[in-house]
Amino acid sequence: MIGTNRLNSTEDFTAALFRELRMIQPGVDDLAFYEFRYALENYFPDQGWESIVLIPNFEIEQMVEDRRFYESIEHKPKIGDRIVLDRKIFHLNQVLFAGLASNQYSVEWVKNLFYFDVRGFFFVPRNTYFTQDVLTHLRGKPYQIFKQKQRQLDRYQGVGYLDFMKANEEIDHAFIECIQRVIEAKGTPILITLAGPTAAGKTEITERLLAEFHKKGQKITSIEVDNFLLDREIREDKPMGKESTHFDIFINSLEEILKGNKIQIPRYDFVYGTSSHDLRGNLKPGCSSIEVEPADIIFMEGNFPFHIDEISRLIGIKVVYLTDDPIRLKRKWKRDIDYRKKYDPAYFLNRYFKTQFLRADEIYRPLMAVSEMVVDTTGAALWVSAEIRDLLS
Helix (H) or strand (E) holding 375: strand 373-376
State the helix-helix crossing angle for 345-359 and 87-101, rounded to 10 degrees: 90
Quote the pLDDT of residue 120: 97
Backbone angles phi, psi at 380, to 5 degrees: 50, 50
User: Looking at 4-8, 170-174, 191-195, 268-272, which range is the least confident one?
Assistant: 4-8
Q: What are the pLDDT digits (tens) for 320-335?
A: 999 999 999 999 999 9
Q: What are the pLDDT digits (tens) for 109-133?
A: 999 999 999 999 999 999 999 999 9
Residue 207's Cα: distance from chain center in Å? 19
From the list 163, 161, 240, the residue with the least C-alpha distance to 205 is 161
Domains of the chain, with CATH numbers? 2-125 (no CATH), 132-392 (3.40.50.300)
Quote the pLDDT of residue 214: 87
Q: Is the pLDDT of residue 266 over 60?
A: yes
The string of DSSP letters for 284-319 reads PTT---EEE---SEEEEES---TTSHHHHTT-SEEE
Distance separating the N- and C-terminal Cα atoms of the chain: 57
Cβ-based burial of 59 (10 A; exposed 0-12, middle 13-18, buried ≥19): exposed
User: Looking at 211-220, 249-258, 275-284, which range is the least confident one?
Assistant: 211-220
Q: Is the pLDDT of residue 1 over 70?
A: no
Quote the pLDDT of residue 7: 65
Cβ-based burial of 176 (10 A; exposed 0-12, middle 13-18, buried ≥19): middle
Quote the pLDDT of residue 303: 75
Cα–Cα distance for residue pair 110/355, rounded to 1 Å: 21
Q: How confident is the model at residue 301 (pLDDT cuts 50, 70, 90)?
A: confident
Q: What are the pLDDT digits (tens) for 28-65?
A: 999 999 999 999 999 999 999 999 999 999 999 999 99
Q: What is the mean pLDDT of the chain?
A: 93
Q: Provide the whole-model pTM.
A: 0.86
Q: Coil, strand, or helix at residue 199?
A: coil
CB proximity list for 133: less than 8 A, separation 6 or greater: 365, 369
Q: Is the pLDDT of residue 4 over 50?
A: no
From the list 82, 94, 1, 77, the residue with the least C-alpha distance to 43 is 94
Count CB-CB contacts under 10 A for residue 139.
13
Cα–Cα distance for residue pair 322/201, rounded to 1 Å: 8
Q: Coil, strand, or helix at residue 332?
A: helix
Most confident of 118-127, 200-209, 296-305: 118-127
Q: Is the pLDDT of residue 353 over 70?
A: yes
From the list 379, 391, 377, the residue with the least C-alpha distance to 169 is 377
